[in-house]
Amino acid sequence: MKNSMIRYLEELSFNAHPSLKTQYYDGWVLRFANGYSSRANSVNMIYPSTIEIKEKIEECEKRYLENGLPCIFKVIHEEDEVIDDILNDRGYEIVTPTDVMIMDLTDKEFASSECIIIEHVTDEWLDTYFILEKYTNQSTRDTVTKIRNMIQNDTLYCIIKEDGKNVACASAVIENGYIYIANVIVDEMYRGKGYGRRLCETLLAKAKEMGGYTAYLQVIQTNQIAINLYEKLGFEKTYSYWYRRKINYTKYSEK
Helices within the chain (DSSP H only) = 4-16, 53-66, 81-89, 123-133, 138-150, 195-209, 224-233
pLDDT tens digits for 113-136? 889 999 999 999 999 999 999 999
Start-to-end CA distance of the chain, whole Å, equals: 36
Identify the domain containing residue 141 by its residue range: 103-239
Going 71 to 5 to 208 to 193, the CA torsion angle's sign is: negative
Residues 165 and 189 in one domain: yes
Cα dihedral: 129, 135, 138, 140 (round 10): -80
Summarised one tens digit per residue, pLDDT across range 55-90 is 999 999 999 999 999 999 999 998 999 999 999 999
> In this structure, are 109 and 232 located in the same domain?
yes
Same domain? 92 vs 130: no
> How much is the pTM?
0.94
Q: Among residues of the chain, what percentage have pLDDT more than 70?
A: 96
* Region 180-186 average pLDDT: 98
What is the CATH classification number for the domain harbouring 139?
A: 3.40.630.30
Residues 39 and 126 in one domain: no
pLDDT > 90: percent of the chain:
92
Residues 6 or more apart from 183 whose CB is under 8 A from it? 129, 169, 170, 171
Is it the case that residue 2 has pLDDT exceeding 80? no
Q: Would you say residue 253 lies in a domain? A: no
Specify whether 88 is located in the same domain as 131: no
**Would 252 be classed as within a structural domain?**
no
Please check whether residue 255 lies inside any domain of the structure.
no
Tell me if 56 is assigned to some domain. Answer: yes
Residues 90 and 116 in one domain: no
- Domain assignment present for residue 254? The answer is no
